[in-house]
């Protein structure tokens, strides 16, 4: 397969080179048309060659021969792929547009606002009516891992969500044979309504108090902001690590009713601060240090997320706080080429020098209050060179074709304890269509640090010591 593609690729190069020589004597219009007709199949063949040369089994099994393995330091590590990686279930889908990614980021922010609202009014609402909707791991901008589940263990390709405190997989048979079949596992057990674990489940889903009374089954229902739905029953089974170590009694949702983008994935695993998150259950059952660290990949690379002890070398720490299942840190400033932007606080405190910035790796773009977003856009517009502002696309710039100079201003996010997160061009600007560059931020109401600004850097969320570490080499 790869050899045939390489032959086709070589032939295409020869064909293009010979035809370009002939077309030099043609008119400019003919040359442009020839270039268009020839480059399109060349690019197609190039991507086909890249995809064909990727061994997906090797991608998952390369490191320590285990997808989910125990590291030398005792931590448990999951290999992590960007959802656009060729070995991801979503790797061959059409790339999401800038407007769609921004709207999905704002949907996740609205879900955060809903959770915060319920927590503020908790004492005024009957406990059985309190719910905090769990949000999607950004199926159009997320990260993918594999986990082993059941006895014998089967691999499940799931989305990783640091803002969710519940995990679930699809539990029905389909053509690809990759869904979890509870009937085939000798250790699967349905969770009864009387189980102490059933109450935390209902607090982590969109409809609390769900229970099939006659069958005594704990149920769940999750409605996601991108209109995806996951629902059915809650069960327990063995989570098996690649080196043979197993964690029995892992609580998760077993879905036989889903809608939306999750058809391409087995499910989602949450790393939030709730009692039933993947983080909490692995830590609680193994005695691991309560922390998770990660290195987020680009679409063509492979990285990891791990639970437990981590390497503190090269990290600069800022205090990290929790509010329910959510994590947040203190943002103290934003600078553009050294010039500070005035931060805007919440509705209760319109002007603030320090604001809460929530952490959510499932959000594609970071979110800023609209006023701060506009200030950032204006500041970048004043200092960027070689690009013009696009009036019809707020937050975007297009190449100034008469300019040969290309300069992107230096933007930094500042957190307490003097920790800084520099944003290079790949972390600041999203490449949209026709060479357009757009801010990788969305205008909203809250401060939300998303995945685009955290890619290709080492970070640790140390829940046990209430701190977050950013790599000082960014």
Per-residue confidence in pLDDT tens, the chain, 474 aa? 334 433 443 444 444 444 434 333 344 444 444 444 444 344 444 444 444 455 676 676 644 433 445 555 568 888 888 777 777 765 555 556 666 566 666 666 666 766 666 666 554 332 222 222 333 334 445 788 888 899 999 988 888 888 888 899 988 755 454 578 999 999 999 999 888 888 766 555 544 446 776 678 888 888 765 566 788 889 999 998 656 678 999 999 998 866 555 557 788 888 988 889 999 999 998 888 999 999 988 777 888 999 999 999 999 999 999 988 889 999 999 999 999 998 876 544 455 678 999 998 878 889 999 999 999 999 999 999 999 999 888 899 999 988 888 999 999 999 999 999 999 999 999 988 888 999 999 999 999 999 899 988 999 999 999 999 999 876
Quote the DSSP letter at residue 420: E
Q: pTM higher than 0.85, yes or no?
A: no
What residues contact 295, with CB distance under 8 A and at least 6 apart?
80, 303, 304, 456, 457, 458, 459
Q: CA–CA separation, 226 vs 235, rounded Å?
A: 25
CA gap 194, 198 in Å, rounded: 7
d(CA 137, CA 316) in angstroms, rounded, equals 27
* Chain length of the chain: 474
Given a contact cutoff of 8 angstroms between Cβ atoms, the answer to whether 208 and 193 are in contact is no
């Amino acid at each position: 397969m790869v050899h045939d593609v390489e032959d086709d690729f070589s032939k295409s190069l020869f064909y293009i080179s010979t035809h370009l020589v002939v077309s030099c004597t043609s008119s400019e219009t003919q040359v442009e048309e020839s270039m268009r007709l020839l480059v399109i199949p060349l690019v197609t063949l190039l991507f086909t060659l890249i995809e064909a040369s990727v061994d997906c089994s090797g991608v998952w099994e390369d490191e320590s021969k285990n997808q989910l393995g125990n590291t030398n330091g005792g931590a448990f590590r999951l290999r992590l792929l960007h959802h656009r990686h060729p070995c991801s279930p979503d790797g061959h889908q059409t790339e999401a547009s800038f407007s769609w990614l921004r709207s999905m980021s704002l949907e996740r922010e609205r879900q955060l606002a809903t959770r915060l609202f319920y927590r503020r009014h908790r004492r005024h609402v009957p406990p059985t009516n309190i719910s905090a909707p769990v949000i999607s791991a950004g199926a159009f901008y997320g990260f993918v891992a594999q986990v082993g589940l059941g006895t014998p263990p089967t691999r499940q390709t799931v989305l990783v969500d640091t803002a969710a405190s519940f995990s679930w997989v699809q539990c029905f048979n389909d053509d690809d044979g990759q869904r979890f079949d509870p009937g085939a596992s000798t250790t699967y057990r349905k969770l009864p309504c009387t189980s102490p674990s059933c109450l935390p489940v209902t607090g982590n889903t969109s409809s609390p108090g769900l229970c099939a009374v006659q069958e005594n089954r704990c149920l769940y229902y999750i409605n996601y902001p991108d209109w995806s739905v996951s629902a059915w029953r809650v069960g327990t089974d063995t989570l098996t690590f690649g080196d043979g170590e197993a964690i029995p009694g892992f609580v998760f949702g077993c879905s036989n009713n889903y809608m939306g983008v999750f058809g391409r994935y087995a499910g989602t695993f949450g790393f939030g601060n709730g009692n039933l998150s993947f983080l909490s259950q692995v830590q609680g059952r193994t005695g691991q240090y309560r922390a998770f660290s990660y290195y987020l990949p680009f679409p063509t690379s492979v990285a990891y997320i791990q639970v437990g002890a981590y390497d503190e070398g090269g990290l600069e720490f800022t205090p990290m706080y929790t509010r329910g299942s959510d994590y947040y840190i203190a943002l103290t400033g934003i600078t553009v080429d050294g010039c500070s932007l005035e931060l805007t606080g919440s509705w209760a405190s319109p002007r603030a020098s320090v604001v809460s910035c929530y952490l959510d790796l499932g959000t594609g773009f970071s979110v800023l209050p609209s006023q701060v977003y506009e200030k950032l856009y204006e500041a970048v517009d004043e200092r960027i060179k070689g690009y013009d502002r696009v009036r019809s696309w707020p937050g975007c710039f297009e190449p100034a074709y008469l300019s040969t100079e290309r300069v992107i201003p230096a933007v930094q996010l500042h957190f307490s304890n003097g920790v800084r997160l520099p944003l290079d061009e790949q972390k600041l600007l999203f490449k949209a269509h026709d060479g357009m560059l757009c801010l990788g931020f969305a205008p909203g109401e809250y401060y939300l640090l998303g995945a685009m600004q955290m890619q290709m850097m080492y970070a640790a969320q140390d829940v046990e010591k209430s701190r977050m570490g950013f790599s000082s080499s960014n």
